[in-house]
Amino acid sequence: MNADELTIAAGVRDACIEAALAGYEDASTSGLCGEGALEVAISAIRRLDLNETLESLAKADEKTDQLPASQR
C-alpha cells in the first residue's frame, strides 16, 4: 500500500471509530444494556456514508496541500 492509500484507510478507520463511539454513547445514555449499545455502535458503522467520508478526507488533504511546507 502506498502512503495515499494508507492515509485514506486511516481516515476511514477513524470515521468508523468515531461513529461507533457516538452510537455506543447515545445508546448507553438512552438506557440500553452493553449488548444493545454495541449493536447500535455496529449499526452506526454500517450507516456511515463512505462517499461523504472520502470527500471529507479529500477536502482535508487539499487544505493540507495548500499550507506552506513549514506548517504541514
Q: What is the pLDDT of residues 3-58, one digit of tens each?
A: 889 999 999 999 999 999 999 999 999 999 999 999 999 999 999 999 999 999 99
Q: What pLDDT is attached to residue 51?
A: 95
pLDDT for position 61 = 79
- Answer yes or no: is 60 within a domain: no
* Residue 67 resides in a domain: no
Total domains in the chain come to 1
With 0-12 / 13-18 / 19 or more C-beta atoms within 10 angstroms meaning exposed / middle / buried, residue 31 is exposed
Within-domain flag for 22: yes
- 38 part of a folded domain: yes
Predicted local confidence at residue 29, as pLDDT: 95
What residue numbers bound the domain in which 14 lies? 3-53
Contact residues for 16 (Cβ-Cβ < 8 A; gap 6+): 45, 48
Instruction: Establish if 72 belongs to a structural domain.
Output: no
pLDDT at 55: 93
Q: Is residue 58 part of a domain?
A: no
Q: According to the model, what pLDDT value does residue 1 have? A: 79
